[in-house]
Amino acid sequence: MIPIQGGNSKVELVERDHLLEDLRLETRSAAKGSGRLVFLGGDAGLGKSSVVREMARKPGSQVRLMWGACDSLTTPRPLGPLLDMASTAPMVGDLIDRGAPRFELFTSLVEDITTRPSLLVMEDAHWADEATLDLILFLGRRIADTRSIVVVTYRPHEITTRHPLRLVMGDLATAAGHRRFQVEPLSLDGVRTLVGERSIDAERLHRVTGGNPFYVTEVLAKPGWTVPPTVADAVLARVSRLPDEERDLLATVSVEPTGLELDLFESLGRGLPKALASGLVVADGDTIRFRHELARLAIEGTLDAQRRRNAHKDILGELERRDDIDPSRLAHHANGVNDPAAILKWATEAGDAAAASGAHRQAVEHFRDGVEHSVSADIDIRIDLLEKYATELSRVDRMEDALAMRQRVLTLVRRGGNMTRILLAEAHLADAMLHAGDGIGAYRLMDKVVAAADSLDPGLEMAQIYYMAGYQVMLARRAGDAMRWCKRAIALAEEHGGDKILARTLNALGSTRIVSFEDLTGVEELTRSGVIAEELGWDAQKVNALLDLGSGLCEIRRYSLAEDYLQRGIEETADRDLDGLRHYCTAWLSRVRFEQGRWSEADDLASRVPLDSGAPMCPIVAATVMGRTRTRRGESGAEELLNEAWSLAQEAGDVQRLWPVVAARAEWAWLSGGNRGALSRDLLSVLDTAVELGVRWAISELVFWANKLDLPTEHQSPMETDPFRLHVEGEHAAAAMTWAELGCPYEQAWSLVDAGNEESLRQGLDLLISLGAGPLADRARQSLRELGATRIPSGPRPQTTGHPEGLTRRQVEVLGLLTEGMTDKEIAERLFISPKTAGHHVTAILQKLDVSSRHAAASRSQQKPSLLAYRQPT
């Protein structure tokens, strides 16, 4: 066994044999061509690193060991573990040196570990920056096709439900080659083994330390000690035995979480040999680091404010004299010194580096520090920093904060009096207002900016303003303004070489043509946008083009085209790890499947979209799909989901968000007989807006629901062959035929049912039974009975459901966890969903199984194991 160092004594690695055997089994599987990504959890001091080092002692003669760690810096350095590994992967190191794009770095690493079996260790992922989390996700999706193994260590208690690492682990939960293990505390017998023949009360030691091996070994470092109240006492007692010089040196380096370069360590003092002999720090290549993070924290915690500041100042001074130091380290120590000029300089550089690597949350933290210490800086520096901060805030969905920064930018820009800069600042402010939920104010301000932009010299600044205006009014479905401003932006971008502006504007123009006019030349413009983005290496914009194609074509019910673009978008995001866009493509594909009557698939897709996303677009679509599916099946939980979607849609304020949700609420009220509340007013208000803007499918659907709910309206659909209009006007056979041509079986069935004759009712009922549309099927049966019909079919057809009781795939997963006795909170943590969503699933399960309690549901699944199986519907 590899020893655990505790002071100058050596203790065996105990009670880890089973875990090590499991890890070695995964290593052998990887060597045979089934690569692995292993999450190894355990609290601080339980020995995760020791276990991995023992695992790595003999991984195989041809296996390369690559080791990296995340930092507990104030703001972590982007891709810290990959930087640590660069020396063992020269090809990746070369790409890092020349500043290659992140996707190229990640792809190169995968190619490297595919051609050469490797053991990659990433320690302390609970401190990982955003770019490192993306790397873990990228590797996790591809590792199964290699002969390598990636081990990621983390502290479970530091990853809350919303922690980014937990989201990554959730995304990889079903990935091939994904495994999880836990390092557990020592048992009393394990502590007794470590105590050995020492005259120490093992039971008391186990009780006070909780079986934490680090606590135990620190206490045992000096024989005869009684148990101290905290591990800090143990660590500090060892430090107190050192001479003053070594003790001061350890105090200084305790403020550097990542470890110090050997020569820098030596330049801070002459106590290196005795510091190493203490066992508190170790040499790790060219770096000196604390053996245990807890030891470093214990020592750092003893420093008073002045001593801590002096330590940061000493290290910052040494680092500033060197080249190629990660700016996040410099920013960390500048903060420790509390030097405003140094913080401004290094926080800005660290923010730029983090943003360039895709670590947007870390960029936000760095830019925040810079902004807070920029009061005395030149005004242009302050404006530039505030603009960067606002941009990064919007990328992490902190829209209210981004809006506040844009307001500060405008205040500063107005002092300079440059009209071009003022108008650009106002345009960005309007964009921030829109995303923060103030659509009315945003449109008013953008109209003012566009009117004034005509006075500018033609150029890219004017093109940028026109693009931003065109994009905004496209979302608002102001088609005329969108067409006019987008065309102006395109002309200027083409004349002045603004390819990025051109690509974005083509997106807005093409989307306007599709959703407002059903003009499929918009497909050509969106396709051109994607081609330009691909030529620029702009992955996000390429996917945006596919997303807008899919969502726009779905909105006008061209499903075969829509699903193709959305599937391609999902595939592109998987290859590029663009998770926000993947969620939005998935949400829209769930809407396609819902409107096609493929409800189990729709519900499964929608359940993959986080409902607590910072940006409202994804959860609005997903929650609406789940709510409407439950409505049409007669399941509980629909009202809560639709209320949640409506709240988000009201914040967004655009008719494209409001229309589907208010229609869904109308359907729920009509089918369930539920309380309409403010629904009538809301529906008529959204209908008036849709008429004013000419949003044709919104008008037609909302007129249909106004008619069903007996609401007064003089509006009618502007489309003569619109199936909703045909239905309202009593042309039920024509409506049913049109719905069948569009591929909407539920609406087809409804038209047949409302035709009222027995033949049509039976045809409609057959369709409704095949869909599992219980409430509307019950109404059809009642109509048949009123006509005196006999032999009326009942119940769903077995071949149309993927579960004997109609549970969805996700509900089957939840039922399995219910059977294990889990609470909603525990289910949520296991499936990486919110407790509220878990509760929705449990309620639906109880209703479908016709039981009144969780215990009864668990008992039924144990008595009938087939309830825990799900097969794809036919």
Average pLDDT over residues 472-498: 95
Give the pLDDT band (50/70/90) at residue 677. Answer: confident
**Measured between alpha carbons, how far apart are the two ends of the chain, in Å?**
55
Token pair, residue 190, equals: 């394990």
Q: Please give the Cα distance from 291 to 289 (Å, whole number).
A: 6
Q: Which residues touch 558 (CB under 8 Å, ≥6 apart)?
A: none
Which residues lie closer than 8 Å to 338 by C-beta, 6 or more apart? 309
**Residue among 692, 724, 663 at smallest CA distance from 479:** 692
pLDDT higher at 252 or 412: 412
Phi and psi at 163, nearest 5°, equal -60, 135
- Inter-residue contact 809 to 870 (CB < 8 Å): yes
Best CA proximity match to 216, nearest among 207, 32, 172: 207
Alpha-helix runs per DSSP H in 172-281: 188-195, 202-209, 213-219, 231-240, 244-253, 262-267, 272-277
Contact 795, 136 (CB under 8 A): no
- For residue 223, the SS3 value is coil
Q: Which of 42-46, 248-252, 378-382, 822-826 has the highest mean pLDDT?
A: 378-382
Coil, strand or helix at 122 = strand
Mean pLDDT of 679-689: 96
Average pLDDT over residues 419-438: 91
C-alpha dihedral, 605 to 607 to 610 to 611, nearest 10°? 120
Alpha-carbon gap, residue 632 to 763, rounded angstroms: 18
Report the pLDDT value the prediction gives residue 828, as an integer from 0 to 100.
77
Q: What percent of the chain has pLDDT over 90?
A: 58
From the list 828, 799, 849, 874, the residue with the least C-alpha distance to 161 is 828
Angstrom distance (rounded) from CA 206 to CA 191: 6
Spatial separation of the C-alpha atoms in residues 218 and 237, rounded to whole Å? 10
CA distances from 25 to 36, 53, 500, 760 (A): 11, 16, 50, 62
Confidence of residue 832 (pLDDT cuts 50, 70, 90): low
How far apart are the C-alpha atoms of 14 and 17, rounded to whole Å? 7
Cβ of 825: how many Cβ atoms within 10 Å? Answer: 13
Predicted confidence at residue 323, as pLDDT, reads 87
Q: Delineate the domains of the chain, giving CATH numbers in brackets.
A: 17-182 (3.40.50.300), 363-571 (1.25.40.10), 809-868 (1.10.10.10)
- Distance, CA of 632 to CA of 776 (rounded, Å): 7
Phi-psi region of 637 (alpha: psi -120 to 50; beta: other; left: phi over 0): left
Note the residue count of the chain: 874
8 Å CB contact between 848 and 633: no
DSSP 46: S
* Among candidate residues 153, 148, 137, 143, the one with its CA nearest the CA of residue 40: 153
Give the model's pLDDT for residue 282. 80
Asked if the model's pLDDT at residue 225 lies above 60, the reply is: no
Tell me the one-letter amino acid at 291.
R
Q: What pLDDT does 347 receive?
A: 97
Q: Residue 304's CB: how many other CB atoms inside 10 A?
A: 8
CB atoms closer than 10 angstroms to residue 270: 11
59 phi/psi in degrees, rounded to 5? -70, -10
Distance CA 668, CA 676 (A): 9
Strand, coil or helix: 4 = strand
- State pLDDT tens for residues 592-626: 999 999 999 999 899 888 877 656 788 999 999 99
**What residue type is 622 in one-letter code?**
A
Is pLDDT of 30 > 60? yes
Q: What percent of the chain has pLDDT over 70?
A: 93
For residue 229, the model assigns a pLDDT of 42
Number of other CB atoms surrounding residue 160 within 10 Å: 9
Whether residue 851 has pLDDT greater than 60: yes
Of 448, 368, 413, residue with least CA distance to 75: 368
Q: What is the pLDDT of residue 800?
A: 40
Residues 499, 505, 509, CA angle at the centre, nearest 5°? 140
Say whether 632 sits in a helix, a strand or coil: helix
Alpha carbons within 13 A on the beta-carbon side of 852: 0
Distance CA(208)–CA(122), nearest Å, equals 30
d(CA 565, CA 585): 9
Nearest to 832 by CA among 45, 79, 137: 137
Continuous segment of H or E residues that includes residue 68: strand 64-69
Read off the DSSP letter of residue 866: G
Alpha helices (runs of H) in 417-538, residue ranges in sequence order: 419-435, 439-453, 460-475, 479-496, 499-517, 521-536
E strand or H helix that includes residue 152: strand 149-154
Res. 264: pLDDT tops 90: no
β-sheet bridge partners, residue 149: 36, 119
Per-state percent for the chain, helix, strand, coil, to nearest 5: 65, 5, 30
Q: How many CB atoms lie within 10 A of CB 707?
A: 15
pLDDT number for residue 594: 98
Strand segments, DSSP code E, in 281-324 are: 281-284, 287-290
**Position 871 confidence tier, pLDDT thresholds 50, 70, 90:** low
Tokens standing for residue 692? 């004013």
Query: Is it the case that residue 224 has pLDDT exceeding 60?
Result: no
| pLDDT given at position 227 | 34
Q: Do 792 and 799 meet the contact criterion of CB atoms below 8 Å apart?
A: no
Sheet holding 287-290, edge to edge: 260-261, 287-290, 281-284
The answer on pLDDT for 12 being more than 70 is no
Per-residue buried b or exposed e for 491-530, using 16+ beta carbons within 10 Å of the residue's own CB? ebbeeeebebbbbbbbbbbbbbbbbbebeeebbebbbbbb
Question: What pLDDT score was predicted for residue 567?
Answer: 95
State how far the Cα of 188 lies from the Cα of 718, in Å rounded to an integer.
78
**Phi and psi angles of residue 122, each rounded to the nearest 5 degrees, phi first:** -120, 110
**Predicted pLDDT at 670:** 96
pLDDT of residue 231: 64
- Cβ-Cβ contacts under 8 Å for 183 (sequence gap 6 or more): 16, 19, 40, 41, 42, 46, 47, 48, 51
Residue (of 30, 39, 89, 82) closest to 64 by Cα position: 89
Q: 7: pLDDT confidence band, cut at 50, 70 and 90?
A: very low
Q: Are 479 and 694 in contact (CB under 8 A)?
A: yes
Using the predicted structure, report yes or no on whether residue 847 has a pLDDT greater than 70: yes
C-alpha 609/C-alpha 593 separation (Å) is 15
pLDDT tens figures, 323-375:
889 999 999 999 999 999 999 999 999 999 988 887 888 999 999 999 999 99
Q: Output the average pLDDT for the chain.
A: 88
pLDDT of 381: 97
Task: Give me the helices (H) in 302-359, please.
Answer: 305-320, 327-337, 340-356
Mean pLDDT, residues 370-388 taken together: 96
Residue 834 has a pLDDT of: 66
Q: Global pTM?
A: 0.75
Stretch among 566-580, 657-671, 695-709 having the lowest mean pLDDT = 566-580
pLDDT at position 294:
67
SS (H, E, C) 182-197: ECCCCCHHHHHHHHCC
CA-based max dimension of the chain: 102
Query: For 726-751, how does the pLDDT look when each residue is reduced to its tens digit (9 = 90+)?
Result: 999 999 999 999 999 999 999 999 99
* Residue 576 scores a pLDDT above 70: no
Check: CB of residue 553 under 8 Å from CB of residue 514: yes
Query: Is residue 162 packed enough to be buried (19+ CB in 10 Å), middle (13-18) or exposed (0-12)?
Result: exposed
- pLDDT confidence tier of residue 59, bands split at 50, 70 and 90: low
